[in-house]
């Protein structure tokens, strides 16, 4: 559990938004924190990709992904009927 203090104006705004959205103020603040932490993590991921770009072997997997399904199962369509 983490607790922290908010200024009166921020607390009032959080309460107002929670009421408008029909959620507890705690839920609103948890979701806001979760989203902010996810954004920070994505920025860190971007910096890591710039520092350590994919090598040729890793990039080759992107070409394979565009090949589509490995097998054609359309002839099994009516097998379930």
Is there a contact between 18 and 28 (Cβ–Cβ < 8 Å)?
yes
Query: Which of 18-22, 48-52, 69-73, 76-80 is predicted most confidently?
Result: 18-22
Q: How many domains does the chain have?
A: 1
d(CA 16, CA 23): 10
Instruction: Tell me the per-residue pLDDT of 43-54, one tens digit each, with 9 for 90 and over.
Output: 898 888 888 888
Instruction: Tell me the per-residue pLDDT of 30-70, one tens digit each, with 9 for 90 and over.
Output: 999 999 999 999 989 888 888 888 888 888 877 776 676 66
Q: Which domain holds residue 18?
A: 8-65
Please report whether residue 13 resides in a domain.
yes
Please report whether residue 48 resides in a domain.
yes
Please report whether residue 49 resides in a domain.
yes
d(CA 33, CA 2): 11
The model carries a pTM of: 0.58
User: Which pair of structure tokens corresponds to residue 56?
Assistant: 């040729």
Is there a contact between 23 and 12 (Cβ–Cβ < 8 Å)?
no
Please report whether residue 2 resides in a domain.
no
């Amino acid at each position: 559990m983490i607790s922290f203090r908010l200024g009166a104006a921020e607390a009032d705004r959080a309460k107002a938004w929670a009421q408008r959205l029909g959620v507890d103020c705690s839920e609103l603040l948890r979701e806001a924190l979760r989203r902010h932490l996810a954004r920070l993590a994505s920025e860190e991921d971007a910096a890591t990709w710039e520092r350590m770009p994919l090598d040729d072997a890793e990039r080759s997997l992107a070409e394979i992904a565009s090949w589509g399904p490995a097998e054609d199962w359309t002839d099994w369509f009516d097998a379930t009927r």
